[in-house]
Amino acid sequence: MNILAIETSCDETAIAILTRKGNHCTLHAHQVASQIALHTQYGGVFPMMAKREHSRNIVPLFLETLKEAGVFTESKKSSGWKTRTVAKITKLLEREPEMLELFLKEIPRLQKPKIDRITVTVGPGLEPALWVGINFAKALSYVWGIPLVPVNHMEGHVLSIFPQESKTEFTITKMATPAISLLVSGGHTELVLVKGVGKYSVVGKTLDDAAGEAFDKVARMLGLPYPGGPEISRLAESIRDSISHGEIKKTITLPRPMIHSDNLDFSFSGLKTAVLYLIKKLGDLNEATKKEIACEFENSAIEVLVTKTMKAVKKYKAKSVIVGGGVSANKHLRIVLTRACKEYGIEATFPTKTLTTDNAIMIGIAGSFGKKVRSTSKKLLASGNMSL
Q: Which residues bind ligand KG4 (CB under 6 A)?
A: 10, 185-187, 212-213, 215-216, 227-230, 233, 325-327, 329-330, 357-358
By a kind-dependent CB cut-off of 5 to 8 A, residue 5 interacts, out of Zn ion, ligand KG4, none, with none
Q: Which residues of 99-134 are buried (b: 16+ CB within 10 A; e: fewer)?
A: bbebbbeebbebeebebebbbbbbbbbbbbbbbbbb
- In 3D space, the residue among 96, 93, 134 whose CA is nearest the CA of residue 383 turns out to be 134
Interaction partner, residue 186 (Zn ion, ligand KG4, none; CB < 5-8 Å by kind):
ligand KG4
Burial of 287 (0-12, 13-18, 19+ CB in 10 A): exposed
**Partner touching 192 among ligand KG4, Zn ion, none, CB below 5 to 8 Å by kind:** none
128 contact choice in Zn ion, ligand KG4, none (CB below 5 to 8 Å, kind-dependent): none
CB of 148 vs ligand KG4, minimal distance in Å: 22
Strand order in the sheet with 24-34: 148-152, 117-123, 2-7, 12-21, 24-34, 169-171
Q: Is 388 helix (H, G, I), strand (E, B) or coil?
A: coil
Q: What HEC string does 154-215 produce?
A: HHHHHHHHCCCCCCCEEECCCCCCCEEEEEECCCCEEEEEEEECCEEEEEEEECCCCHHHHH
* C-alpha gyration radius of the chain: 22
Nearer to ligand KG4, 69 or 218 (CB): 218
Closest distance to ligand KG4 from the beta carbon of 185 (Å): 3
Lay out the site mask for Zn ion across 354-383 (x = CB under 5 A, - = otherwise): ----x-------------------------
Task: Write the binding mask 157 to 196 for Zn ion: x where contact by CB under 5 A, - elsewhere.
Answer: ----------------------------x-----------
Q: Which does 327 bind (CB under 5 to 8 A by kind): Zn ion, ligand KG4, none?
A: ligand KG4
Using CB under 5 A as the binding rule, whether residue 328 contacts Zn ion is answered as: no
- For residue 8, the minimal CB distance to Zn ion (Å) is 11
Applying CB under 5 A, the residues found at the interface with Zn ion are 185, 358
